[in-house]
Amino acid sequence: MQIYGPYRVSTTQPNAAAQRSQPQKPADATPNPTKSAVDQLDLSSAASGVNRMAPSSAAAGGGEIRIDRVAEIRRQIADGSYETPEKMDAALDRLLDQYA
């Protein structure tokens, strides 16, 4: 056998695995085309409401988005002054408090 690179194999000898016959599948192993599997998910009313935003939140459309504040934060991000060590420490503290 000769190997040329990672994906090219050349051989002059027959491959014994290729000459073997494929095992026969049992007759009942074939899927029934008339029946199809259907997935179903049932959530309780408590579970379905857990990840929803409060209707009064700004992201849900119930509050006002302060365009001037958004513009100021975008400006700070663009000039590199938004992320300060104090803000990073506060964010890390809040994150660690969630898992403590």
Q: Does 99 fall in a domain?
A: yes
The total number of structural domains in the chain stands at: 1
Distance, in Å, from the CA atom of 70 to the CA atom of 84, rounded to the nearest integer, reads: 18
Distance, in Å, from the CA atom of 70 to the CA atom of 21, rounded to the nearest integer, reads: 68
Q: Give residue-wise pLDDT tens across range 27-70.
A: 555 555 567 788 888 888 877 777 665 655 555 555 788 999 99
* 3-state SS, residue 41: coil
Q: Where are the alpha helices (DSSP H) in 1-100?
A: 16-19, 45-48, 67-79, 85-99
**Which pLDDT band holds residue 80 (cuts at 50, 70, 90)?**
very high
User: What is the residue range of 70's domain?
Assistant: 65-100
Distance, in Å, from the CA atom of 53 to the CA atom of 59, rounded to the nearest integer, reads: 8
Q: Does 78 fall in a domain?
A: yes
Q: Does 53 fall in a domain?
A: no
Q: Does 85 fall in a domain?
A: yes
Q: Does 77 fall in a domain?
A: yes
Q: Does 24 fall in a domain?
A: no
Distance, in Å, from the CA atom of 53 to the CA atom of 50, rounded to the nearest integer, reads: 9
Give the pLDDT of residue 1. Answer: 56
Q: Does 70 fall in a domain?
A: yes
Q: Does 92 fall in a domain?
A: yes
Whole-model pTM: value is 0.34
Question: What is residue 24's DSSP assignment?
Answer: P
